[in-house]
């Protein structure tokens, strides 16, 4: 056996990472909330296309950052290299308090809602099922890495197969107009307007569904021929996800009219769009889709339970977080304390917000704010490390990152003007994080907390 053979991630593997990390609960759940805010299907489809283009622009920027800084940490490392340790710490802190824990909470809420198709739950019972599922996921992922990896892979494959099976059935069996329909509301009801506020609010669901493309850039250092394969994987992956999302929405609207889709966002009786579409076209297989969604989001949540705590573990080892979270379990090889911390806070978020819609607003605003800052960092990195040769450089620079900044900047600005408790709560963690940063820095008694390579 030749031990000198170079091993690495192929173009296919990188593309699967880009697709698998992006497709989660969003395409099953968010179209209802988007239709509730936007009254015509054409604009809805344009929002999904815009979300795909913005994700592609951001992925190309992160491909360059990933090729420059291939050590662990991803966005945490990019922010540190561009702007210093404080913004990096705030991102890690936000991962714990908002982004990753909130994502786990939202996914488990979707799991509970789909489980309700099989088990009769009392009013508000989904919340308690979601909290219990987080406990189960924590135990499952903390003590069995191999089984959690297998479960996640199976869930991802089934999810993709299920999406395309539903898509084909909906497009073939659906009979309703797709592009020509607008909301038909009863007399005296004012339809939602396609103004900036409603579009920005609807874009929350779109961006939640596209979140995950940046995970592919984290493995640039392990890629074969990264200069060629990273941008191609981003292009193919984001393009495939965008096409899937647009076609899925067309399939949904070919089966259910606009008002029916919008009504599924009712917080008093939330429904999953994909499930209702399956019920409409093949009622004899009505339990197939909720079972598939429950399995896929459960597996996806498990990935977050296991992976993200490594950032908190890294922060603790650098002296900017509680020392107890720097430990790796000697037998299971995972940051067990950090995993338990994240899962515990995810349970608190389920209890506090109690609905999928509130949780994704809490998460998406903060997460894309940090993705925006990291993307701006490409301008700083190119100046600070101008002697460094990157394996991949953003095409059409500086237009590509500027377009990303413009669209996401509009999204953040418009939603920042919205009087919503979810946005206030998400932003509140930042000043708390600044205070904690200086407390930990003072305790460490050092000025340099640059992440270790």
Between the alpha carbon of residue 452 and those of residues 77, 223, 347, the distances in Å are 9, 21, 31
Enumerate residues 6+ apart whose C-beta is below 8 A from 135.
343, 347
Q: What percent of the chain has pLDDT over 70?
A: 84
Band the pLDDT of 332: cuts 50, 70, 90.
low
Query: Between residues 63 and 404, which one has the greater pLDDT?
Result: 404
Query: Between residues 309 and 45, which one has the greater pLDDT?
Result: 45
CA atoms of 382 and 370, how far apart (whole Å): 19
Domain spans of the chain?
11-444
Q: Is the pLDDT of residue 107 over 80?
A: yes
Helix (H/G/I), strand (E/B), else coil: 420: coil
Q: With beta carbons less than 8 A apart as the criterion, state whether 61 and 404 touch.
A: yes
Query: Between residues 28 and 180, which one has the greater pLDDT?
Result: 28
Q: Is the pLDDT of residue 399 over 50?
A: yes
Per the DSSP assignment, residues forming a β-bridge with 182 are: 40
- The token duo for 143 is 């003590």
Mean pLDDT in residue range 406-413: 92
pLDDT averaged over the chain? 81
User: What is the per-residue pLDDT across 62-76, written as a single tens digit (0 to 9) for each?
Assistant: 888 887 886 656 788
Q: Taking the model in full, what pTM does it have?
A: 0.83
Task: Kindly report the number of other CB atoms within 10 A of residue 43's CB atom.
Answer: 16
Least confident of 126-130, 192-196, 365-369, 377-381: 192-196
What pLDDT is stored for residue 151 in this prediction? 66
- The token duo for 19 is 């697709």
Query: Which is the CATH superfamily of the domain at 11-444?
Result: Amino acid/polyamine transporter I (1.20.1740.10)
- The token duo for 441 is 């820095």
Mean pLDDT in residue range 8-16: 75
CA atoms of 42 and 34, how far apart (whole Å): 12
CA atoms of 159 and 10, how far apart (whole Å): 22
What pLDDT is stored for residue 191 in this prediction? 46
Q: Is the pLDDT of residue 241 over 60?
A: yes
Q: Is the pLDDT of residue 5 over 50?
A: no
Mean pLDDT in residue range 338-347: 92
What pLDDT is stored for residue 27 in this prediction? 86
Query: Which sign, positive or negative, has the C-alpha torsion 196, 255, 31, 244?
Result: negative
Least confident of 29-33, 404-408, 416-420: 416-420
Band the pLDDT of 104: cuts 50, 70, 90.
very high
Q: Best-predicted range by mean pLDDT among 56-60, 293-297, 322-326, 443-447? A: 56-60
What pLDDT is stored for residue 40 in this prediction? 85
Quick one: 249 exposed, middle or buried, by C-beta within 10 A (0-12, 13-18, 19+)?
buried
What pLDDT is stored for residue 176 in this prediction? 65
Least confident of 208-217, 271-280, 285-294: 208-217
Q: Is 177 left (phi over 0), alpha (psi -120 to 50) or beta?
A: beta
Q: With beta carbons less than 8 A apart as the criterion, state whether 174 and 257 touch.
A: no
Band the pLDDT of 129: cuts 50, 70, 90.
very high
| Cβ burial 195-204 (10 Å sphere, 16+ → b, else e) | eeebbbbbbb
What pLDDT is stored for residue 453 in this prediction? 42
Mean pLDDT in residue range 283-299: 83
Mean pLDDT in residue range 347-354: 91
Band the pLDDT of 90: cuts 50, 70, 90.
very high
Q: Is the pLDDT of residue 355 over 70?
A: yes
Q: Is the pLDDT of residue 3 over 50?
A: no
Mean pLDDT in residue range 25-30: 83
């Amino acid at each position: 056996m030749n031990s000198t053979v170079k091993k690495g991630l192929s173009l296919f593997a990188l593309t699967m990472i880009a697709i698998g990390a992006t497709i989660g609960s969003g395409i099953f759940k968010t179209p209802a909330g988007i239709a509730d805010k936007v009254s015509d299907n054409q604009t809805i489809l344009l929002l999904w296309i815009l979300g795909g283009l913005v994700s592609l622009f951001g992925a190309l920027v992160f491909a360059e950052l990933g090729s420059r800084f291939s050590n662990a940490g991803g966005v945490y490392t990019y922010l540190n290299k561009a702007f210093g340790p404080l913004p990096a710490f705030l991102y890690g802190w936000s991962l714990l308090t908002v982004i990753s824990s909130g994502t786990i909470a939202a996914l488990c809420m979707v799991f509970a809602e789909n489980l309700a198709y099989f088990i009769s739950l009392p009013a508000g019972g989904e919340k308690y099922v979601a909290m219990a599922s987080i406990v189960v996921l924590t135990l499952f992922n903390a003590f069995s890495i191999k089984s959690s990896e297998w479960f996640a892979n199976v869930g991802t494959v089934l999810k993709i197969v299920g999406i395309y099976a539903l898509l084909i059935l909906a497009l073939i069996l659906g009979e309703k107009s797709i592009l020509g329909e607008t909301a038909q509301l009863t007399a005296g009801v004012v339809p939602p307007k396609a103004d900036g506020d409603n579009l920005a609010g609807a874009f929350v669901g779109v961006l939640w569904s596209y979140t995950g493309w940046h995970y592919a850039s984290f493995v640039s250092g392990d890629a074969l021929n990264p200069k060629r394969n990273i941008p191609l994987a981003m292009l193919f992956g984001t393009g495939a996800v965008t096409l899937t999302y647009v076609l899925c929405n067309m399939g949904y609207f070919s089966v259910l009219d606009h008002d029916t889709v919008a009504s599924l966002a009712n917080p008093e009786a939330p429904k999953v769009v994909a499930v209702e579409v399956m019920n409409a076209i093949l009622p004899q297989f009505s339990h197939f889709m909720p079972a598939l969604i429950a399995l896929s989001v459960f597996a996806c949540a498990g990935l977050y339970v296991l992976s993200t705590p490594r950032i908190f573990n890294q922060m603790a080892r650098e002296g900017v977080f509680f020392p107890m979270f720097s430990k790796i379990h000697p037998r299971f090889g995972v940051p067990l304390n950090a995993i338990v911390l994240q899962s515990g806070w995810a349970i608190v978020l389920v209890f506090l917000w109690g609905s999928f819609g509130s949780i994704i607003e809490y998460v998406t605003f903060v997460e894309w704010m940090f993705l925006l800052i990291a993307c701006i960092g490409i301008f700083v990195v190119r100046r600070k490390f101008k002697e460094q040769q990157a394996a991949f450089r953003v095409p059409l620079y500086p237009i590509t990152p500027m377009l990303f900044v413009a669209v996401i900047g509009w999204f953040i600005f418009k939603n920042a003007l919205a009087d919503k408790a979810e946005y206030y709560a998400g932003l509140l963690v930042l000043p708390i994080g600044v205070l904690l940063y200086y407390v930990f820095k003072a305790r460490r008694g050092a000025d340099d907390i640059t992440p270790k390579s």
